Structure 1
Amino acid sequence: MQVAAQLCSLKDSDLEYIFYKNASHLLGLGASYESKHNLEQYELAKTMIPGGTQLLSKKPELMAPSYWPAYYTQATGCEIIDESGNRFLDMASNAVLSCLLGYADADVNNAVLRRVQLGSMSSLSNYDEVRLAERLLEIHPWAQMVRYARTGGEAMTMAVRIARAVTGRDKVAICGYHGWH
């Protein structure tokens, strides 16, 4: 977003108007974000964690400087609550576009809890992997097999390797965040 703004010769005040003042006016918010403790925590974090966060995309400066919290205490659906009780609507999909169902989705939470209670770590496979593979192949009849990945970066690595093998090409064009690969 910052690169696009620079290419368009937008100033910080332009970005503030576009992303905060305009949205604030449309939503009738009016007040700026103030949580001295949250900002102090972020400054402290920057002395211990490069950039203050583990992901570049989670830096509050990338959202709306001085109007977006660095940390939260609770999140449900698309709402985030900071430690001061301020409420925010997260329209950035968890900053990394991986939260399509929203935060704390009951179905996801219950499925994860069920798996943890049944035992989530083993050197053996679980037959749920086979059941899920069957379902995925039903949904995607063009696919011949299923391969699971633990992370987005691992999934991207597999996708790039498959694309290279199938096409015989070795160059890859990317745009935006695609995980660590």
Structure 2
Amino acid sequence: METQRELSERDLQDPALRVKGAVRRLVKLHGGIDAAAAECGMSRSSIGLYVNPNVPDQARVDVVFCLERAINDPVVTRELAAMHGFMLEPMEPAELPADDYASDPLPDCIDSTYDVAELGHLLKAAADRGQITAEEADRFKDKARKALDRFVRLHDKLHRIGALIRKARRPLSLRRRQHGGV
């Protein structure tokens, strides 16, 4: 994600810029402007305006909801709550839909390790050949960025799951719950 400028401590005193900073973090966690625009069905330029601290446009609530739901982390909502002196807490594990947490972290983890393994094989092949082209370097950089973004999302998801488990004081089942029936 391109950055016009980083927010300073002084900027963070301005509520509008605090929200912009939270939206910027949300978009970054989602994988950048292009990924966020695709997720919400919006133009890249609209998302770009939402994260640009030099533009007064704020993100629409439906866009924030869409992105927070996609990464399963209420980044902007948490910031708004903190600005009002509140703290968000996750629902009790028993109240969480099974599909939201139970089966989600393992595929992300597996995909993340596959990404890193594939990148390692490609880099080793280049090292064995003794050279790397500019196109390969760009491709490797893109693969590394995707793997890093996936690991960041995995880290955040596992952090939330750990908090839920500690709060419930019992393990969280990774098996899908049966709906209906006995």
TM-score (norm 1): 0.23
Larger RCO (CA under 8 A, 6+ residues apart): 2
Task: Indicate the structure (1 or 2) with the bigger Cα radius of gyration.
Answer: 1
- Which protein has the bigger strand share? 1
| Structure that is richer in helix per residue | 2
